[in-house]
Amino acid sequence: MKVIVCGAGQVGTTLARHLSSEANDVVVIDQSDDLIRRLDDSLDVRGIVGYASRPGVLEQAGAADADMIIAATVSDEVNMVACMVAHTLFHVPVKIARVRDQEYAADKWSALFGKDGLPIDVLISPEQEVARAIMRRLHAPGAIEMIELADNAIRLVGVRLGEQCPIINTPLRQLAALFPDLNIQVVGVVRDGRPFVPSDQDQLFPRDEVYFVADTLHVPRAMAAVGQDLPESHRVIIVGGGNIGRRLARIIEEEDRDISAMIIERDPEQAKEIAQRLARTTVLNGDAMDPDLLEEANASRADTIIAVTDHDETNILASLLAKRYGTKQAIALVTRPAYASLLQPLDIDVIINPRAITASTILQLIRRGRVRAVHSIGDSFGEIIDIEAMESSGIVGKPLSESKLPHGAIVGAIARDGKVIIPRSDTVIRPGDRVVLFATESVIKKVERIFAVSLEHF
Amino acid sequence: MQLNNIFAPNAVITALPASSKAQVLRALAEAAAVANDLDPQEIFEILRERERLGSTAIGEGVAIPHAKVPGLDHLVGWIAKLEQPLEFDAIDDKPVDLVVMLLAPESAGADHLRVLAQLSRMAKDHQRCAALRGCSSAEALWQTLTQEDERRAA
């Protein structure tokens, strides 16, 4: 597939890297000579210096035979015009624009992207998605990952197992017998930084990061069974009043009366501005690494610290420090993949990886089949895919054990007629079923083919 | 069903210039839309969505994109030879240079499936494909596509 990415900032670079790693033909446009040069050096993509909405620049980027344009420059307006030009002059089939200003996406103006509006198929707002991902973790204390699937009938949950966890040292196939209430399917395990898809002979050990799929209604019970049924947060400290921090505070103000939030922002001007914009949130101006300020923020009594500044290092240290002061849980935004492995032994409960979250929206459009959602899991571990099983595809009409799913792919759960089925080897998938499956990156293509319809599908 | 009722003599393209799968689908959608007074964008979108569910490139360089199109009242076929072979996400990963498109009415019964089966048999016939690839004129291409079929039917 040929993809044009406009904007070589963090979002554009993340997507370009992900797309080129899957053998797509990627062209990146940016105004900055310097950014393009750096990209050329590090990635297998073609860089073009220029203004992304200009027809001539898009033509040079090969818009005429592109399958997709992702406009992710810093300017909402440039992004929208770039999609418009790509559509009108070059017939690019799929147009994606990063739009930060929420007013453009407001329900009141939904006609803007309607049939007669701007030709944009998908709007992405990475900061908003990251803020939402953090909210999901806040509501699932103890979970390192929590993703709603199949219209929230099914959830993927990631947990880190403690020494006292009841389900450790037991082969997975025995779990159902030993814990009849525990209706989960373990789809992935990360042990000492090494990810694998477990077979039913495998056992779980303390400190394993375990990803399982369960009926949403059973999640509280499952969390208790894995020893992670912690109380929900009521007092949170947000470090960093940038785009993500502000959105998070706004979501909390608008949707969550039970949570009181405080923002620590270092820049006095920014702090003042945030204080004016938010109503219920306390804003402190200062350094989150300053013991006096942490005292003032009452860190010893806070439930969760959420560190979302632009600097990974600040986020990591602020989280650790707050926990030293008595904050119960720490969530830190960490962009550099290299840090992820270092952080394992440290006391940070949840690492939010904005790259993975940004990539997820795009993956849904790239994957073949009637895919409803895709989320990448771990650092290049694999993807959890929510897909509709089609009549005539290789997955339906026979027991799962005969469906030739490759090693590294596993069906987590099936939603059918409002019920959730945790599959066994003799489960038969029917047309119309919503299937939630996990696949490691190397087998995704094979999985797509098994779900592909046969030629006769009209 | 006879292919000369489905493929009009002018529904042939001997050298389609295109550099991507999307361009091929768009070109064929536009050609069929003009000939049948339909919306090219709509045909293109339906063809593209169908390809997403599973590629119609069935191997050996042949693809049979197909779609049910609102407003169409009969089966419509187009055949195109590509100027250069293209990546089409084929089952055998081989590039495609021969594309046969079939459009059917929304209310199609089973005829369209029979024609699709017929076309897919043709695509697996090496001699037949070689003959189609060897045609340099539109007329020859149409003759090869339709007449050979009559002879076999007879």
pLDDT at B151: 54
**Residue B20 belongs to a domain:** yes
Q: Give the up-direction half-sphere exposure of residue B5: CA atoms within 13 A in the CB hemisphere.
A: 8
pLDDT at B148 over 70: no
Q: Give CA–CA dist A278/A165, Å, rounded.
A: 41
Q: From B20, B38, B21, B22, select the one nearest B30 (Cα to Cα).
A: B38
Let me know if residue B45 belongs to a domain. Answer: yes
Q: Which of A58, A216, A209, A204 is nearest to A152 (CA)?
A: A216
Residue B129 lies in a domain: yes
- In the prediction, which pLDDT does A68 show? 95
- Chain A nearest-CA distance from B73, in A, is 16
| Cβ neighbour number for residue A60 with a 10 Å cutoff | 13
Contact by Cβ (8 Å): A82, A74: no
Alpha carbon of B10: minimum distance to chain A alpha carbons (Å): 24
Chain B residues touching A458 at Cβ < 8 A: 50, 66-68, 104, 108, 112-113, 116
By CA distance, what is A367's nearest residue in B?
B52
| Averaged pLDDT, B99-125 | 92
DSSP classification of residue B75:
-
Tokens representing A111 are: 């006609």
**pTM of the shown model:** 0.87
Task: Determine, yes or no, domain membership for B152.
Answer: no
Count of the separate structural domains present in chain B: 1
The DSSP annotation for A279-346 comes to SS-EEEES-TT-HHHHHHTTGGG-SEEEE-SS-HHHHHHHHHHHHHTT-SEEEEE---HHHHHHHTTS
Domain residues for B125?
3-147
Contacts A–B by Cβ distance under 8 A: 55
Nearest CA in chain A to B54: A452
Nearest to A369 among B53, B89, B113 (CB): B53
B16 to chain A, closest Cα gap in Å: 14
Q: Which residues contact A90 (CB under 8 A, 6 or more apart)?
A: A58, A59, A63, A64, A66
| B66 annotated active-site | yes
* Facing residue for A458 by CB, picked from B22, B52, B104: B104
A367 token code pair: 């994957």
ipTM of the assembly?
0.85
Among the partner residues A65, A369, A457, nearest to B20 by beta-carbon distance: A65
DSSP three-state, residue A409: strand
Residue entry with tokens 């949707």: A255
Tell me if A390 and B26 make a contact (CB, 8 A cut-off): no
Q: Which residue of A has its CA nearest to B87?
A: A1
Of B19, B44, B66, the CB nearest to A65: B19
CA contacts within 13 A on the Cβ side of A326: 10
Residue B154, domain member (yes or no): no
Q: How far is the alpha carbon of B114 from chain A, nearest alpha carbon, in Å?
A: 10
Whether B126 maps to a domain, the answer reads: yes
Nearest CA in chain A to B116: A456
Of the candidates A65, A98, A62, the one whose C-alpha atom is nearest the C-alpha of residue A81 is: A98
pLDDT per residue as tens, chain A (458 positions) = 899 999 998 889 988 988 888 888 999 999 999 999 988 788 889 999 999 999 999 999 999 999 999 999 999 999 999 999 999 999 999 999 999 888 898 889 989 998 889 999 999 998 899 999 999 888 888 899 999 999 999 999 999 998 888 899 999 989 888 888 788 999 999 998 899 999 989 999 999 999 999 999 999 889 988 888 788 889 999 999 999 999 999 999 999 889 999 999 999 999 999 999 999 999 999 999 999 999 999 999 999 999 999 999 999 999 999 999 999 999 999 988 788 778 877 888 899 988 888 888 888 888 889 999 999 887 778 999 999 999 999 999 999 999 989 999 999 999 999 999 999 889 999 999 999 999 998 999 899 999 999 998 98
In the three-class reduction of DSSP (H, G, I as helix; E, B as strand; rest coil), residue A125 is classed as: coil
Among candidates B20, B58, B108 on the partner chain, residue whose Cβ is nearest the Cβ of A67: B20
CATH of the domain at B76: 3.40.930.10
Asked if the Cβ–Cβ distance from A458 to B67 is below 8 Å, we say yes
- For B147, the token pair is 């007449």
Nearest CA in chain A to B121: A455
The answer to whether the CB atoms of A368 and B52 lie below 8 A apart is: yes
Q: Is the residue at B84 inside a domain?
A: yes
Tell me the residues of B at the A interface, defined by beta carbons under 8 Å apart: 18-23, 26, 44, 48, 50, 52-56, 58, 64, 66-68, 89, 104, 108, 112-113, 116-117, 120
